[in-house]
Amino acid sequence: MIKIKPSLLLFICLTLILSFNSPVQAQCVEIENCELVWSDEFDGTEVDTTKWSFQRGDGSEVSLPPGWGNSEQQWYTENNATVAAGFLTITARKESVQPGWNFTSARLRSFRKADWTYGRMEMRAKMPVGKGLWPAFWMLSTNREYGGWAASGEIDIMEYLGSEPDEVLGTIHYGGEWPNNTFSGTPYKLPEGSFDEDFHVFAIEWEEGEIRWYVDDVHYGTKTEWFSSAAPFPAPFDKKMHLLLNMAVGGNLPGAPDANTMFPAEFVIDYVRVYQEGDPPAVTINAGFNDAWYNPATNGQGFLMTVYPDIQQMFVAWFTYDTERPAEGVEANLGEPGQRWVTAQGSYSGDTANLKIFVTEGGVFDSAEPPVSTDANGIGTMTIEFADCTQGLVTYQMTSPNVSGEIPIQRIVGDNEALCQSLAAQ
């Protein structure tokens, strides 16, 4: 079977990681075995009304004082939320579609369509800038078991004031019904730059008795103390809550727009995702170097796997032999005996690795220092699922050449024990 000198594999591993690695954010920071349970990637051409519903007007329809109880100045419409090019854009405009209201914007919620108790709720988004702009990503109780606002709780995953473009707020509201409610929160300020310059990931991880806030997976706030006038702790944050996305204009917190506030203003959302704790995997991928696996159906396909836990990345070198091992010095070209290797790199979690496939050009097997170049865009995807430390399944799809399939793999007995021992230990 295939044996490659460690110096060769190490050279290729380091070359690819230096060439292609970018910061990888874990699905969840502290929630173990978290699984994606709901998301909107905004890949369509309009708001997905199976996931979101619109709230319209000034709040009167839901028995709030005009201005949504906050003296806000916008009238919410469906026309101010658009989906295109993989983004949801909520646009605030200076216009009047209803007498007495000089601005329009949009407010969406997952009410009666999706709600959760506990999990990681995250959004990747880019903010507008300007006084009076108030985008938010937040949660409210679905069934209001403990009473009206804020007795049943509110979690503000992210609030942002356009007049303070380098800062966001994470807050909870709780206690009794208004005006017998209270709140507590924590601000987060970017080390450099501002939230209107680029996209950032805003998230909470909500577990029983604890809520944590993150920006780009930097943990900046934790709440473990709150109360409800209707039930003991951890009420009210122990019931199903749904998501809201909106951009208010004016209001008690940001104040009114001024002459420098530019309209239209855009709150651009790349995705919204929800993760929850799942069942632990049968095995867990851990650190291992040069661990060799093969396809028992052909004895001609080999996979060398290296795991880098510090950056949560797996590197795979995939070889194919049509016959026996090629003669010394045979170039590795696709479609010929002794084929050029295909490489893959990506993140892993639990018993599964999700990788991007690359082609490494110009390598010669067992050469000490082969020339290496790759297509940074990749040529496809690969998923590896481990059943245990002796067998697994590779699923792949490549665009060049246009091939796809599944490959059962087994571990080569007597090879490097590091990865297998780590798998077995779990």
Q: Which of 28-42, 103-117, 138-152, 290-304 has the lowest mean pLDDT?
A: 290-304
**Residue at token pair 């001609």:** 300
Residues 393 and 409: beta-carbon distance below 8 Å: yes
Instruction: State how far the Cα of 211 lies from the Cα of 205, in Å rounded to an integer.
Output: 6
Rounded CA-CA distance 251/72 in Å is 4
Mean pLDDT for the stretch of residues 402-418: 74
* Residue 189 in this model has a pLDDT that exceeds 90: yes
Residue 290 has pLDDT above 60, yes or no: no
331 an active-site residue? no
- Range name among 94-103, 112-121, 252-261, 356-365 with the lowest pLDDT average: 356-365
Listed residue (399, 126, 71) closest to 267, CA to CA: 126
SS3 372: coil
* Whether the Cβ atoms of residue 305 and residue 314 lie closer than 8 Å to each other: yes
pLDDT at 412: 76
Mean pLDDT of the region 37-54: 97
Identify the weakest region by mean pLDDT among 48-52, 149-153, 303-307.
303-307
107: exposed, middle or buried (Cβ count in 10 Å: 0-12, 13-18, 19+): buried
Q: Higher confidence at residue 189 or residue 397?
A: 189
For residue 369, pLDDT beyond 50: no
Task: Compute the distance between CA of residue 333 and CA of residue 343 in angstroms, rounded to an integer.
Answer: 14
Separation of first and last alpha carbons in the chain: 28
What's the pLDDT at 416? 52
Task: List, in sequence order, every residue forming a beta bridge with 168; answer none if it has no partner.
Answer: 160, 188
Q: Is the pLDDT of residue 361 over 60?
A: no
Residues in the chain: 426
**What is the three-class DSSP state of 230?**
coil
pTM (two decimals): 0.68
Least confident segment among 24-38, 91-105, 107-121, 260-274: 24-38
For residue 266, the model assigns a pLDDT of 98
pLDDT-derived band at 10 (thresholds 50, 70, 90) equals very low
Neighbouring residues of 421: CB distance < 8 A, sequence distance ≥ 6: 389
CB count, 10 Å around CB of 425? 10
72 is catalytic: no
Task: List, in order of start, the domains of the chain with CATH numbers.
Answer: 6-25+281-425 (2.40.128), 34-277 (2.60.120.200)
**DSSP character string of 80-134:** GEEEETTEEEEEEEEEEEETTEEEEE-EEE-TTT--BSSEEEEEEEE---STTEE
Q: Which residue has the tokens 């009076």?
A: 132
**pLDDT band for position 422 (50/70/90)?**
low
Average pLDDT taken over every residue of the chain? 83
Contacts of 197 (CB under 8 A, 6+ apart): none
For residue 16, what is the enclosing H or E element? helix 6-20
Q: Which two tokens stand for residue 260?
A: 């420098």
Residue 44 to residues 85, 207, 218, 271, Cα–Cα distance (Å): 8, 32, 31, 12
CB 139 within 8 A of CB 121: yes
Taking residues 327-347, what's their average pLDDT? 55
Pairing of strands 200-207, 210-215: antiparallel
d(CA 357, CA 343): 6
pLDDT of residue 306: 82
More confident residue, 19 or 47: 47
Write down the pLDDT at residue 335: 38
Give the Å distances, CA to CA, from 259 to 60, 112, 197, 282, 286. Answer: 29, 40, 21, 60, 56
pLDDT, average across residues 162-167: 98
- Choosing from 72, 159, 205, 266, which is the catalytic residue? 159
Strands 53-55 and 352-359: unpaired
What pLDDT is recorded for position 330?
40
For residue 421, the model assigns a pLDDT of: 53
- Judge whether residue 183 has pLDDT over 50: yes
**Catalytic residue chosen out of the listed positions 154, 207, 225, 406:** 154
With cut-offs at 50, 70 and 90, classify the pLDDT of residue 286.
low
The C-alpha atoms of residue 171 and residue 160 are separated, in whole angstroms, by: 11
pLDDT tens, position by position, 50-96:
999 999 999 999 999 999 999 999 999 999 999 999 999 999 999 99
**Interval 191-208 mean pLDDT:** 98
d(CA 401, CA 334): 10
